A and B are shown apart, each in its own frame.
Chain A
Amino acid sequence: MRRTVKALILAATAMLVGAAIACGGEQVKPTTAPAPTTAPAVAPTAFIAPTTAPAPTAAPSPTAAPTSAPTAVPGPSGKLVVSLSAIGPANYELFELVWPWNDRNQFMGMYDTIFYDDRRPGAASLLNASVAKSWQFTDQGLVLTIRDDIPWHDTKYGKLTVDDILHSLERASKPGAKWTRAEALTTNFKVAEIKATGPNEITMPWNKRDLRWRSVPRDVTIQSKKMFDAVGAEQMNITPMGTGPYRVLEHRSGDIIRLEALDKHWRETAHVKSIDVLETPEETVRLAMLKTGQADIIQMGVPSIPAVKAISGAQMLIGPTTGLDGAQIVPAGQYYQDKKEDGSATGRTPLTQLPWVGKTPEDGLKVRRAMSMAIDRQALIDSVLGGLGQKHYLWNLGPGHPRWSVDLEKKFAIPYDPEAAKKLLTEAGYPNGFELNFFIPSGLSSTLEQVCQAMVPMFAKVGLKANVDQSQYSAVRPTMLARTIDKVWCWQESGWSVDPDVLYRFSTRAVWNPGIEYVEPLNLESRILTQSDPEESWKIITNEWLPWFQTKLPSFQTVAFTAPIAAGPRIKEWPMRVHSNRWPMEPQLIKLTGN
């Protein structure tokens, strides 16, 4: 028997050694922290939120001379490892960019756009130069003057020219393009007539101009026509090559994106030389990577804050717009729009058998108001969000938006008052409450799920028995397209942008709908979009749109919350610049207590 055991051990060892030899592969060494006193300040310039990546843009104003990287600033150095739940597909060509990854090109600093928004309070101008160094609005169209000193990452394609911009716009507007601004492009501009009107000038004639026009030059990432002609669409799609501060070295789908900073960039040179963006679906594993130093920055949910606080040296990057999100309650079934924009019948009627729709609109309103009054928003902030959130009442206008203010929020606030809620329910014909199907989509946000789950006992307190349905969002989505959804559901609505280009959600215009259709917002949207002066649009929004929304209460906000980003001790500072095209980014990097 002793010989048998000996032989077994030998055999097992041999097999293990053989397996080890056979399974050789590339070794990925975790990054090691440099000595704190000698390392240069690691100022990451790449992104914070899962789908956004701010690029450092200190772009000049339209009339200023082009900037160059300050000579005193050393070149990029060091390496960062960032761990996210998903990195998206390896698509980079405008025709193929899939939502929600369509903005990744500029968010990760790989590509540039024609110009960008600066929405910081006190910003000199909303529109800022990028690839276009200046522009003019005429009655006929938008005239852009393009820089002539922007090199492509691959030098064999020379410098960015007007042909590249024309090509990019053409690809973005081709029928079947996946780009989310394609419709804004074709609505606002006569795409077929966009042409070069000078060696560095492009004229974009207006079509039916509305306020979404800005989203087109702001969001279209410029791609090389020469490269497209040389390699074709398919190869172009999987070979990222832009003009941004970072070039893509490698993108392995479902695994990693490797970025490398240019040593000098025409806009602003990055500080960090290389960034590895890893796809790590499990949050526990991301936390483990942060703890062991295998990741410097990780995506996290609010429920993970205690775990991050327990990690020595961990920090949180948090600001008014960091991963900004909100929980909105949508009582679906309010299909009050009987005619589409073209005058044809929708064929839908409001589902009056549902208490929150009501046999009469007034009854339905009472029920919806009661539901809103049943929510103790402060308790959600204190207990679920750990204090990282705020009460929220405004539709799609939240903290971080330059027009948002606490006073505006208070103006439209609905008090927490369970007794008043019960009274309203009684008046509406439900003295004993009622049962409702409460859809809390899984797979969107763990924070949202927890916030929405916490509302169930609050509803119960006023007599509303919520039968929770935690199906995958994708499973219920077809009912939204078909306009048959009839549940009360928790919508992950970020109250950060009441931009005109997101206003037509509550109408028949979009393919997707949350379960609410009214004629009034459609009319308001049309007026808002067709104002030539943004200030006039804002007057309509604040004087008519928001009051209508708060009076009719088709749905209601509960809390807005920010999901912080966790950073390891190697991150010394994070001088967040204005994002290339989004809301202001002025988060703070805070050391957590006890570290």
Chain B
Amino acid sequence: MRAFIIRRLVFMVFTVVIVSAIVFGMSRARGDPRYIFLDNNTTKEQWDAWGLEMGLDRPLVMQYFVWLGKAVRFDLGNSLWERRPVTDLIKTRLPNSLQLGGAAWLFAMVLAVPLGVLSAVRRWTLWDYFGRIIAMLGQALPPFWLGIMLILLFAVQFQWLPIGRKGGPDHLLLPAITLGWLAAAGILRLVRSAMLEVLDSEFVKLARAKGVTPWLIIWKHAFRNALLVPLTYSVLILSGFLAGTVVTETVFQWPGVGRLAVQAINTNDFPVMAGTVLFSTVLFVLANFALDVSYAFIDPRIRYR
């Protein structure tokens, strides 16, 4: 197990370095970072001065290694747009993304897991059809459209909820539903299909034959064995939420990491671009690592050498 963990850690670092190089290169390929300051009257002298200030006189490879060297010390440079440390900007936005992502994930789990189990247990009944419709809608409805429709219905027409922006629990409801529904659709399908497979297995039949209560069969025997795939998917979804969700944050004016990344792309703010993507990468890699390690605890049959 120890060897496995060390191997995975090394692989993690390797992945992050490769991704950082790609991200750094792509952010520079997008254009000269001085565009952010450029207006129609900019003179050559100003242009050259900005280039010196940003270290653009050095070769690209050198610029990357300088950036990487600082990044390992959690110094992602300064935003060209905001003129403050990128880490500060991410730190400011992260709690907002955590709040929204966490709420959306909870919504997805609350909706998908019980409904997925019910759909599998009560196959071909009304519950099953209901669950599958929910899943289909979740996958078919684009989050952008769904968010605006929810706003028009619940915030404008009925005026039950606020339109958006960060605030109390009522501010969180619509964006969480918008973000969580698509994830819930996938989790629901995975839970349903995994449960169907497990419920058909021999050990479950044996448990039934022995007179074990349905509740225990479903939740102790079947669900635990069906958990692996949906859990993997849901954790990856969660890390995606935490890295920021552009569409939902834009529609609901939620000041999260996703909007920060989009703003950075629109303004060619390459330190923030590189910083937010690096942050997302690390998050995903850590989530994968945690998942891999957790498998050994969830399923004792899995042992790592």
Contact = CB atoms under 8 A, between A and B. Distances in A.
Interface string A104-141: 00000000000000000000000000000000000000
Contacts of A176: 46, 49-50, 52-53
Nearest to A30: B162
Nearest to A504: B41
A182 B46 contact: yes
A4 B165 contact: no
A11 B43 contact: no
B165 A15 contact: no
Interface in B203-236: 214-215, 218
Nearest to A175: B49
B43 A511 contact: yes
A175 B83 CA distance: 17
Nearest to B265: A474
Nearest to A3: B215
A282 B250 contact: yes
A23 B165 CA distance: 14
Nearest to A96: B83
A285 B247 CA distance: 13
A230 interface: no
Interface string A508-545: 01111000000000000000000000000000000000
Contacts of A352: none
B81 A99 contact: no
5 contacts: A23-B102, A96-B83, A176-B49, A294-B162, A477-B31
A23 B42 contact: no
A97 to B, nearest CB: 10
Contacts of B46: 176-177, 182-183, 511
Contacts of B37: 98-99, 178
B39 A100 contact: yes
Interface string B56-100: 000000000000000000000001011110000100110000010
Nearest to A19: B106
B255 interface: yes
B102 A22 contact: yes
A90 interface: yes
A474 B35 contact: yes
B40 A502 contact: yes
Interface string A279-308: 111101100110110100000000000000
Contact of A254 (B84, B215, B263): B263
Contact of B40 (A27, A285, A505): A505
A149 interface: no
* Interface size, A (range): 35 or more
A510 B49 contact: no
A27 B168 contact: yes
B274 interface: no
B82 A288 contact: no
A181 to B, nearest CB: 8
Given A7-B215, A510-B42, A15 B106 contact: yes
B40 A510 contact: yes
A183 B84 CA distance: 25
Interface in B127-160: 148, 151-152, 155-156, 159
Contacts of B122: 1
A285 B83 CA distance: 29
B35 to A, nearest CB: 6
B26 interface: no
B253 A23 contact: no
Given A11-B114, A23-B102, A27-B168, A474 B31 contact: yes
Contacts of A386: none
B36 A234 contact: no
Contacts of B300: none
Nearest to B269: A89
Q: 10 tightest CB-CB pairs across the interface, nearest first?
A: A99-B39, A176-B49, A27-B168, A255-B255, A8-B114, A28-B167, A511-B42, A20-B169, A19-B106, A89-B82
B169 A288 contact: no
A281 B253 contact: yes
B260 A254 contact: yes
B121 interface: yes
B82 A91 contact: yes
A11 B110 CA distance: 8
Contacts of A237: 83-84
Contacts of B110: 12, 15-16
B47 to A, nearest CB: 5
A475 B35 CA distance: 11
B239 interface: no
B192 interface: no
B290 interface: no
A430 B223 CA distance: 74
A581 interface: no
Nearest to A13: B110
Given A23-B172, A285-B151, A292-B155, A90 B82 contact: yes
A293 B166 CA distance: 17
A238 B252 CA distance: 26
B37 to A, nearest CB: 5
Contact of A501 (B35, B41, B121, B164): B41
Interface string A247-267: 000001111000000000000
B44 interface: yes
B41 A25 contact: no
B167 A27 contact: yes
A279 B164 CA distance: 11
A180 B36 contact: no
A178 B260 CA distance: 22
A91 B148 contact: no
B262 to A, nearest CB: 9
A26 interface: yes
A510 B52 CA distance: 19
B166 A255 contact: yes
B259 interface: yes
Nearest to A253: B82
Interface string A464-488: 0000000000110110010000000
Contacts of B169: 20, 23-25
B118 interface: yes
Given A279-B253, A502-B41, A28 B163 contact: no
B200 interface: no
A443 interface: yes
